[in-house]
């Protein structure tokens, strides 16, 4: 018995041309990509990722942070912290990179219909959730209250500032931003993002929570969400692990029984609760 999902070799990258490079904050940049060979992007859902290849250097997994509805441009935001991402950050409009994907599980927005949606993002964790915000605002009537809680290190590290301000301007969205360390002139909240949870306007008995950020931040956030009364089955997180193939063959991304590349990166918290508190698993 054979189940073959991809007739094509899943390890072959497709060429994409960089349309625009945006410098976001500090070492963070965004690439807007267009496929060289075909008209439209393969469809994707928020939460999924692609493997991006820099010619001759290497390949890394990066979450998609563009609008799932806009099929002309593929958008990826990442930090230049390793060999490949730094090389990627040196690329310019017109350069070509390789793309494989989309891979992985997506944020379960279909479970949030008729419910409050709480999105908690920390640092670069806002990048995959931006796709989700686009999706939500495009279909706002499907959800009850929508709350975005975002934490950055300092005011200078606030990602997607313009989008955050636009979302905050929506009359039917609540956006709260906090920083770990304030700088002169910052009049906003200071403190870690879990501190925003006790007073955030949502009904815990009717809420889906989506959480993305450094693992420690996610654990502390989940503790506060559960303290508010959200059930573990209604909390979803996005995990990150070393990936070489993204299709469940190389074995690097294993997390307990799960392959983060195909069972994740989005996981239901109740499924991975024990793994999250086991060291080095």
Partner 1 sequence: MQTLEALLTDHPFFQGLKPEHIQFIAGCGKNARFDAGTYLLREGEAAADFYIIQHGKVALEVLAAQRGRISIETIEAGEVLGWSWLFPPYRWHFSARAVEPVRAIVLDGACLRRKCDVDHDLGYELTQRVAHILMQRLQATRLQLLDVYNVQKQGRA
Partner 2 sequence: MMPSVSLHVNDTVIVGSEHLEQLLAALHRSGYKVIGPQVRDNAIIYDTLTTTSELPAGYTDEQDGGSYRLKKRNDQAWFGYAVGAHSWKRYLHPPLIRLWQASRNDSAMEVSSSQEEAQKYAFFGVRSCELQAISIQDRVFMQSGHSDPIYQSRRENVFIVAVNCGQAGGTCFCVSMNTGPRVTNGFDLALTEIIDDARHDFVIQIGTMLGAEMLQSVPNRAANADDIREAEQIVATTAEHMGRAMDTTGIKDLLSHNLEHPRWDNVASRCLTCGNCTMVCPTCFCTTVEDTTDLTGKKAERWRRWDSCFTMDFSYIYGGSIRSSAKSRYRQWMTHKLSSWIGQFGTSGCVGCGRCITWCPVGIDITEEVRAIRESGSAPAAEEQEGHANA
Binding residues for partner 1, per CB under 8 A? 81-83, 86, 122-124, 152-153, 157, 178, 180-182, 184, 186-192, 194-195, 198-199, 213-214, 216-217, 220, 223
What the block records as the tokens of 17 is: 């041309």
Nearer to partner 2, 222 or 247 (CB): 247
What do you get for the CA distance between the two ends of the chain, in Å? 32
Give least dist CB 189 to partner 1, A.
5
Do the beta carbons of residue 168 and residue 175 sit within 8 Å? yes
By CB under 8 A, tell whether 190 contacts partner 2.
no
Nearer to partner 2, 109 or 246 (CB): 246
Sign of CA dihedral 96, 102, 107, 112: positive
Cβ-proximal residues to 1 (8 Å cutoff; 6+ apart), any chain: none
Cα 243 to the chain's mean position, in Å?
16
H-state helical runs in 10-108:
83-89
Give, in order, the Cα–Cα distances in Å from 120 to each of 140, 178, 244: 18, 11, 28
- Give, as one character, the DSSP assignment of residue 64: B
By CB under 8 A, tell whether 108 contacts partner 2.
no
Give least dist CB 216 to partner 1, A.
5
Give least dist CB 102 to partner 2, A.
13
Nearer to partner 1, 41 or 148 (CB): 148
Give, in order, the Cα–Cα distances in Å from 55 to each of 97, 208, 256: 6, 40, 33
Nearer to partner 2, 193 or 247 (CB): 247
Give least dist CB 115 to partner 2, A.
30
Q: Figure out which of the listed residues 20, 43, 55, 227 binds partner 2, where binding follows CB under 8 A.
A: 55
Cβ-proximal residues to 147 (8 Å cutoff; 6+ apart), any chain: 116, 117, 118, 119, 173, 174, 175, 176, 200, 201, 202
Q: Which does 150 bind (CB under 5 to 8 A by kind): partner 2, partner 1, none?
A: none
Do the beta carbons of residue 264 and residue 279 sit within 8 Å? no
Q: Is 19 left (phi over 0), alpha (psi -120 to 50) or beta?
A: alpha
Binding mask 244-273 for partner 2 (x = CB under 8 A): xx-xxxxxx-x-xx-x--x-----------
Give least dist CB 236 to partner 1, A.
19
Q: Which does 1 bind (CB under 5 to 8 A by kind): partner 2, partner 1, none?
A: partner 2
Q: Which does 139 bind (CB under 5 to 8 A by kind): partner 2, partner 1, none?
A: none
Across the beta sheet with 58-63, what order do the strands follow? Answer: 58-63, 49-54, 96-103, 14-23, 28-35, 74-79
Give least dist CB 87 to partner 2, A.
11
Q: Figure out which of the listed residues 94, 114, 185, 198 binds partner 2, where binding follows CB under 8 A.
A: 94
Binding region for partner 2 (CB under 8 A):
1-6, 9-15, 17, 36, 53, 55-59, 79, 81-82, 94, 96-98, 240-242, 244-245, 247-252, 254, 256-257, 259, 262, 277-281
């Amino acid at each position: 018995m054979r189940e073959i999902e991809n007739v094509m070799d899943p390890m072959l990258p497709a060429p994409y041309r960089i349309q625009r490079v945006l410098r976001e904050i500090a070492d963070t940049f965004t690439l807007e990509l267009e496929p060289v060979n075909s008209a439209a992007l393969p469809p994707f859902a928020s939460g999924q990722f692609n493997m991006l290849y820099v010619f001759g250097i290497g390949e890394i997994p990066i979450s998609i942070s563009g609008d799932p509805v806009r099929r002309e441009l593929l958008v990826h935001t990442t930090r230049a912290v390793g060999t490949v991402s730094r090389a990627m950050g040196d690329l310019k409009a017109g350069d070509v990179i390789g793309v494989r994907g989309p891979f992985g599980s997506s944020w379960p927005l279909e479970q949030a219909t008729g419910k409050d949606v709480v999105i908690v993002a920390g640092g670069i964790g806002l990048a995959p959730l931006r796709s989700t915000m686009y999706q939500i605002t495009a279909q706002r009537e499907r959800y009850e209250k929508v709350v975005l809680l975002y934490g950055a290190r300092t005011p200078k590290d606030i990602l997607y500032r313009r989008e955050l301000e636009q979302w905050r301007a929506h009359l039917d969205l609540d956006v709260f931003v906090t920083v770990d360390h304030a700088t002169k002139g910052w009049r906003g909240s200071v403190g870690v993002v879990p501190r925003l949870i006790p007073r955030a306007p949502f009904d815990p008995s009717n809420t889906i929570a989506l959480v993305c950020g450094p693992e420690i931040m996610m654990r502390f956030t989940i503790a506060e969400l559960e303290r508010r009364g959200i059930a573990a089955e209604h909390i979803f997180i996005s995990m990150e692990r070393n990936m070489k193939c993204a299709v469940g063959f190389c074995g690097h991304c294993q997390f307990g029984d799960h392959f983060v590349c195909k069972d994740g990166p989005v996981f239901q918290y109740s499924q991975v609760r024990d793994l999250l508190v086991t060291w080095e698993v």
